[in-house]
Amino acid sequence: MRLFPFAARKQLAEWLSLRSALLHHIWANGVELMKHKVLLVDDDRNLLEGLRRALRKEPYEIRTAESADAALHILDTEPVSVVVSDQDMPNMTGTELLAKVRERYPDTIRFMLTGKATLDVAIKAINDGAISRFLTKPCNHVDLAVTIRQALQQKELMEEATRLLRVSKRQSAVLEGLEQESPGITKVEKDRNGRIVLDEAAPDYDDLIREISSQAAHAERQMENVTDWQTP
């Protein structure tokens, strides 16, 4: 059996333990839910309040803005996962707003919600704002809630996949370093059924218990000797 430096074996064991725990967490618990914020943009205050009430039980925070400028200010000051914007607003249209959001915050999901669903508006929203969905007024609140949830779930999965890719790259770099220091340390031997073949025989539990009992008795005798020596 080939022996490797203790430090290298310890590092490999720690890496394997971390990888096992990570995979168990992912499969057992799924993608961890994150705190999201959804920004609704419309110059109609009554419509915004109606949407806020309709989405109040959804598992994310609702932010509202009555103009594109107000929406950009919110985006500049706090992270937002989804922007749902009207088209016809003073000073800046919804397509112009979503184009700016795409440029400044490319990871933010963008929806268009408009009462004037012309072909030109749809094409401009898709080309300039790279929107994910084009919704029309009046919008069914259930459909809107489901659409936002699906978008957030997809966003979470993509972010988790990106994070796991970074972890995998770091782990591969660690393994490559270990292999360079101790060639063969990352290789395992498997039998025909795919089970890992261990070089060392599995410990006999009776022998292990006897060894522990022996060590415990030895430690107890040492403590008694110390006590006797300290007694006047």
In this structure, what CATH number is given to the domain that contains residue 80? 3.40.50.2300
4 domain-assigned: yes
* Structure confidence at residue 206 (pLDDT): 64
Strand-strand pairing, 109-114 and 133-136: parallel
- Strand pairing partners for 196? 190
pTM recorded for the entire structure: 0.59
Give pLDDT tens digits for 176-206: 777 777 776 666 667 777 676 665 555 555 6
* Interval 198-225 mean pLDDT: 63
Same domain, 148 and 223: no
**Do 106 and 175 reside in the same domain of the chain?**
yes
Quick check: is 156 in a domain? yes
Which residues are within 8 A (CB) of 58 and not within 5 positions of it... i.e. 6 or more apart? 38, 145, 148, 149
Looking at the fold, whether 21 and 111 belong to one and the same domain comes out as yes
| pLDDT band (50, 70, 90) for residue 29 | very low
Vertex 105, ends 42 and 92: CA angle to 5°?
35
Arithmetic mean of pLDDT, 36-48: 94
Q: What is the CA radius of gyration of the chain?
A: 30
Q: Is residue 195 domain-resident? A: no
Q: How confident is the model at residue 30 (pLDDT cuts 50, 70, 90)?
A: very low
What's residue 221's pLDDT? 65
For residue 196, is it within any domain? no
Same domain for 223 and 129, yes or no, is no
pLDDT attached to residue 199:
57
Q: Tell the residue number behind the tokens 């749902």, with chain if given.
A: 84
Cβ of 86: how many Cβ atoms within 10 Å? Answer: 23
Whole-number mean pLDDT of the chain?
Answer: 76
* Number of structural domains found in the chain: 2
On whether residue 157 sits in a domain, the answer given is yes
| 51 domain residue, yes or no | yes
pLDDT tens for residues 126-178? 767 778 788 888 888 898 998 998 888 888 888 888 888 888 888 777 777 77
Q: 108 and 83 in contact (C-beta within 8 Å)? A: yes
Range of the domain at 24: 1-188
Residue 184 shares a structural domain with residue 214? no
Residues 222 and 122 in one domain: no
Q: Are residues 215 and 146 in the same domain?
A: no
